[in-house]
Amino acid sequence: MRRVRLYLRLGDRCFHGNRSEWGQGAVVEEMTSTIEGGTCLVRVLFDDGMQRTFNNDLDHEMCCYFMGLRKEMKVDWDTGSVRQRRVAKRSLPRG
């Protein structure tokens, strides 16, 4: 089974470089297919009130990254480190 490289995750804040009228956005839904060759999509809610759906597979030429969507980064000027605003992933017990 192919491992999918995802760009955005649930809760990530982002913006579109060419569509400033959309404002800031937040990923509200993440859909990843378990079928070989299936699509990986994210739904982003923007400040203009519209939800827009984008391809989220970095190995695909139509990935939202290549279409102009960028993550919002947070810079800690004291340490010089760049961090992404991301919610910790919850671990579920296996079994």
Half-sphere exposure of 92 (CA within 13 A, CB side): 2
Q: Is the pLDDT of residue 90 over 60?
A: no
Buried b (16+ CB within 10 A) or exposed e, 17-52: eeeeebeebbbeebeeeeeeeeebbbbbebeeeeeb
Q: How confident is the model at residue 88 (pLDDT cuts 50, 70, 90)?
A: very low
Q: Is the pLDDT of residue 86 over 80?
A: no
Q: What is the pLDDT of residues 23-72, one digit of tens each?
A: 999 999 999 888 877 889 999 999 999 999 999 999 889 999 999 999 98
Q: Is the pLDDT of residue 82 over 70?
A: no
The model carries a pTM of 0.73
- Helix then strand then coil, in percent of the chain rounded to 5, is 5, 40, 55
Q: Counting runs of H as helices and runs of E as strands, what totals does the chain give?
A: 0, 7
